[in-house]
Amino acid sequence: MIFGAIVAAGIGSRMNIGSVPKQFMLLGNKPIIIHTIEKFILCGRIDYIYIGVNRDWTVYMNDLLEKYKIDREKIFVVEGGDTRNDTIINIISAAEKEFGEDDSHVIVTHDAVRPFVTLKVIEENIDSALKYGACDTAAPAVDTIVEAKDGVRVSDIPNRKYLYQGQTPQSFNMMKLKRIYKSLSEEEKAVLTDACKIFLFGNEPVYLVEGESSNIKITTVGDYKIAQAMVNEEDIKLNKI
């Protein structure tokens, strides 16, 4: 089976402009997370979609699904964890409890606040995860990346040719992801920044899926304003059709 895993357990502390976590803020005429869920629903290859949210917002999430008439037949809301990877592991546990363990299960993990992901990118993630076991969506770096280890002085300027800007989805063979994660030490888990690094710690290859510049993550107020403009532009195009 192929499972979508929308990670939505954060509280959006860097946004700080609304009374709800950023994934629940309105983007156009509906919340950011509803846009994201709808993109995953469009992919007919995904059997079920799991949404991992903070325990205090599970009822709210379920209410949103009803309000925006999202078909609940293939969607589950589960309690998220303290970290992104904890939320993914919680989703894996819920999926395996419902559908059993299977070496062929694939999980497509995605940030709730990346509502402009395309069907093409989701499909290519599925293909790559099935073929290789792990993949990461990334776009070539367009700006020079400057390293400053002490936060004050430039320590290195890596060759941009070999650098990519990470996005999501990140997709995996589900059992392999769980197995490697459980093998890590607490020190290794503490420095994880995303799920792909789990595979790197396990000396397993992670393959690239080409990302898109429109697949932005809404993290700051500036991102939110850009996203609003993008949604407005989409509405104008639809009205002209």
pLDDT of amino acid 68: 97
pLDDT in tens, 36-73: 999 999 999 999 999 999 999 999 999 999 999 999 99
The residue type of 47 is: D
Quote the CA–CA distance of 152 and 2 in Å, as a whole number: 45
Question: What's the CA gap between 26 and 196, in Å, rounded?
Answer: 30
How do residues 167-209 score in pLDDT, each as one tens digit?
999 999 999 999 999 999 999 998 898 899 999 999 999 999 9
pLDDT band at 147; cut points 50, 70, 90: very high
| Long-range CB contact pairs, 17-22, < 8 A, 24+ | 17/221, 17/224, 20/60, 21/54, 21/57, 22/113, 22/218, 22/219, 22/224
Distance from C-alpha of 46 to C-alpha of 154, rounded to nearest angstrom: 45
Q: What residue spans define the domains of the chain?
A: 2-137+166-240
Residue 15: is its pLDDT beyond 90?
Answer: no
CA angle, 37 then 170 then 102, to 5°:
90
For the chain, what is the largest distance between any 2 Cα atoms, rounded to a whole number of angstroms? 55
Share of the chain above pLDDT 90, in %: 88
Superfamily of segment(s) 2-137+166-240: Spore Coat Polysaccharide Biosynthesis Protein SpsA; Chain A (3.90.550.10)
Phi, psi of 176 (to 5 degrees): -65, -40
Q: What is the pLDDT of residue 12?
A: 64
- pTM comes to 0.92
Distance CA 222, CA 15 (A): 9
Say whether 89 sits in a helix, a strand or coil.
helix
* Mean residue pLDDT across the chain: 93
* pLDDT for residue 241: 47
